[in-house]
Amino acid sequence: MPKKLRPSGGYRKTVSFQTATIIYDATYWFCEKFIDPRSRTVDQMVQAARSGRQNIAEGSRASATSSQTELRLLNVARASFEELLLDFEDFLRHRRLVQWAPNSAEAAAVRQVPQKFKKNLTDLPDRTDLMNLSDQERWAVYAPWLEHENPAVRANALICLINQANYLLDQQIAALERQFVEGGGYSERLASARLAERSRKKKSDQSDRSDQSDPTDQIPNCPQCGKPMVLRIAKTGKNVGKQFWGCSDYPDCKGVLKL
């Protein structure tokens, strides 16, 4: 299979997607057991849980061709989980049930499940991480809370898991934003790959010259620092959508040249 400029997929092995799957399943069964099926809240909570999970997957698949789309979908997932978090908090408050404090022993027990699981199975190297379990096996680890007869225990455990998912998504979004600023998006990488391929062909066959009028045939050096420049596309301003040469050392150097 040809190598892609940007990898995509692989979301099933990410902690954020696996946590989102537990949240979706647990929310579905929570609503089925504890909320009137005629209530609009059931549909809203289940759809919010589903949106969080599905948008992580869709964003992962879109990452091959669009950093902006991947970021947008991850932010949609993050917003959906925030909505779901409020729904579970409302459930507890409206029924005058206690919500666990973030630093409580109960909340800490849920947060520490991955560490305790790994510690207890050190004799099984291929099974010492929740990521390596099936969805059913991973669910069983959290079952003492998520299948509890007390709705307050289930709701509080889900609040812990949603906060974990939100933290993971915040980290993913911040990392993607840094990558986009430093390395550019798909179109910029495609243009750079095109330039590299042209340069390779010219070195291997000097007699094979093509399209001499194309200004992208030669990669200039930065007028400010002297490093090679990279073909980029303006995202804002009066030249939005147009190509220009930007320093490869951006953001440390902001040298530019017009095509």
- Looking up residue 232, the CATH number of its domain turns out to be 2.20.25
Residues 237 and 151 in one domain: no
Both structure tokens of 159:
């609040």
Determine, yes or no, domain membership for 224.
yes
What's the mean pLDDT in 24-34?
A: 97
Residues 237 and 121 in one domain: no
Residues 156 and 97 in one domain: yes
Both structure tokens of 140:
């069983």
Residues 243 and 154 in one domain: no
**For residue 64, is it left (φ>0), alpha (ψ between -120 and 50) or beta?**
alpha
Ranked by mean pLDDT, which of 172-176, 195-199, 215-219, 241-245 comes out on top? 172-176
Residues 106 and 159 in one domain: yes
pLDDT digits (tens, 9 = 90+) for 31-61: 999 999 999 999 999 999 999 999 999 988 8
Residues 120 and 16 in one domain: yes
The answer on pLDDT for 140 being more than 90 is: yes
Average pLDDT of the residues of the chain: 83
Q: For residue 159, give the nearest of 57, 55, 82 by alpha carbon.
A: 82
Residues 164 and 95 in one domain: yes
- According to DSSP, the β-strands at 256-258 and 229-233 are unpaired
pLDDT of residue 197: 63
Residues 174 and 70 in one domain: yes
| Confidence class for position 193, pLDDT limits 50, 70, 90 | low
The β-bridge partners of 230 are 246
Residues 174 and 245 in one domain: no
DSSP 8-class letter at 213: T
Q: For residue 84, give the nearest of 117, 115, 44, 143 by alpha carbon.
A: 44
Tally of structural domains, the chain: 2
Residues 18 and 79 in one domain: yes
Choosing from 165, 183, 201, the residue where a domain stops is: 183
Residues 83 and 130 in one domain: yes
Q: How many whole angstroms separate alpha carbon 157 and alpha carbon 14?
A: 21
Determine, yes or no, domain membership for 93.
yes
Residue 253's domain comprises 217-259
Q: How many whole angstroms separate alpha carbon 58 and alpha carbon 52?
A: 10
Please, are residues 181 and 251 in contact by the beta-carbon 8 Å criterion? yes
Determine, yes or no, domain membership for 156.
yes
pLDDT of residue 196: 62
pTM across the whole model: 0.68
The answer on pLDDT for 195 being more than 70 is: no
pLDDT of residue 94: 97
